[in-house]
Amino acid sequence: MTTTSEPDAEAAAPHVAATSGWRVVAEQECRDMWFSGRGPLLLFAYSLLLSVMTYLAGTNQVLNFLEQREAVSLTVQIAVAVGVLVTLVVSADSISGERERGTFENLLLSPASRRGIVLGKLLGALSLWFATFAISFPYLWALGRGVSLVGTAMAVGLAVGTILAVALACLGMLISTRSNSNRVSVAVGIFILLALFAPTQVPAGLPKAWFGDLLTRVNPIGSSLHYMSAVLVRGHSWSQDLSYLVSPALTAVLAGGLLALRAERFVTLRAERGRA
């Protein structure tokens, strides 16, 4: 997806280009995402989903049964879940997609360092997360204005969602670096995401033993959704359930650290032999 820009200028000052390579890659990724129409189209589809959810919450007697805080919490959770889903898919496409399209060689020949390429592509993928979350603001305002929960919902959604988006974007990119096929990396990314989402769909009424709580805590998505629900619905303070954010933070640190440390080895023209 990324193409090199102004090679002559960069050749004239290679050390400058190397240090700011991540910025060039990030700019190019954002241009590809937002000016090609792919990003706006994803946002349009995302807004349709939120519109249906918001309208149902306002009209359906079952969803509307309880109270606005439940509806706000549900909308924040959907905003975060779908936002990180698209971020993961875009990041899973980032390296393997370039390899498959045959455009990766150009990028590798640019003065940008391997870490710069990873960081630039990561920022490009994260721009989608921030855009999706910004779209959720009017919906949260419509649902939560009566209970003065809009500010809290936006803040907790942005904070927790950003940690989760970074974690899953790094994970998606890690998968992408190890794959030569775009289809494989995106499929593996979605499979991991679904596997992480599945436990969150266990009915809340079922009794949970210590093992159930442990599963929630180790699952970055489950623990993030639990934390947001505790703050928004149960009125817990931000620090009360902070331990639930260890899992997404740790995933971000481990996956991001691995990408940073092994960038030279992972970001290559072809994935290592024996990999997909």
Partner 1 sequence: MRRLLTLAGLLGILGLGGLAPTLAHAGATTVEMSFERGTVDVTIGDRFTLSTMVENIGAAPTEPFVAHLNVASLTNDVYVDPEDWSANRSVDLPLIPPGARTTVDWELQAVNPGTFDVYVVLLPSGATSSPGPLTVSPPVRVAVAPRQSISAGGTLPVAVAVPIILGLVAVAARLRHRRTG
Residues near partner 1, by CB under 8 A: 34-37, 39-41, 43-44, 47-48, 50-52, 54-55, 57-59, 64-71, 135, 138-139, 141-143, 145-146, 204-207, 233-235
Question: Judged by CB, which is closer to partner 1: 218, or 233?
Answer: 233
Measured CA to CA, the distance from residue 153 to residue 133 in angstroms comes to 11
Question: Judged by CB, which is closer to partner 1: 14, or 40?
Answer: 40
Question: Judged by CB, which is closer to partner 1: 52, or 269?
Answer: 52
SS3 120: helix
Question: Judged by CB, which is closer to partner 1: 14, or 240?
Answer: 240
Measured CA to CA, the distance from residue 190 to residue 80 in angstroms comes to 15
For the bound state, the minimum distance from the C-beta of residue 84 to partner 1, rounded and expressed in Å, comes to 19
Find the radius of gyration of the CA atoms of the chain: 20
For the bound state, the minimum distance from the C-beta of residue 34 to partner 1, rounded and expressed in Å, comes to 7
Question: Rounded to the nearest 5 degrees, what angle is found at the Cα of 211, between the Cα atoms of 207 and 213?
Answer: 70
Residue 231 in tokens: 């703050």
For the bound state, the minimum distance from the C-beta of residue 136 to partner 1, rounded and expressed in Å, comes to 10
Measured CA to CA, the distance from residue 254 to residue 170 in angstroms comes to 9
Question: Judged by CB, which is closer to partner 1: 203, or 274?
Answer: 203
Question: Rounded to the nearest 5 degrees, what angle is found at the Cα of 161, between the Cα atoms of 186 and 216?
Answer: 85
Q: Which helix (H) or strand (E) holds 2?
A: none
For the bound state, the minimum distance from the C-beta of residue 154 to partner 1, rounded and expressed in Å, comes to 15
Q: For residue 225, how many other CB atoms are within 10 A of its CB? A: 22
SS3 222: helix
Compute CA 30 distance to the chain's CA centroid, rounded to the nearest angstrom.
15
The H-assigned helical ranges of the chain are 7-12, 14-19, 21-35, 38-59, 68-101, 104-109, 114-144, 150-177, 182-197, 210-218, 220-232, 246-261, 263-266
For the bound state, the minimum distance from the C-beta of residue 2 to partner 1, rounded and expressed in Å, comes to 16
Question: Judged by CB, which is closer to partner 1: 49, or 194?
Answer: 49
Question: Judged by CB, which is closer to partner 1: 65, or 210?
Answer: 65
For the bound state, the minimum distance from the C-beta of residue 40 to partner 1, rounded and expressed in Å, comes to 4
Question: Judged by CB, which is closer to partner 1: 59, or 237?
Answer: 59
For the bound state, the minimum distance from the C-beta of residue 72 to partner 1, rounded and expressed in Å, comes to 9
Residue 272 in tokens: 């290592």
Residue 19 in tokens: 């240090």
For the bound state, the minimum distance from the C-beta of residue 37 to partner 1, rounded and expressed in Å, comes to 4
The position carrying tokens 């993030």 is 224
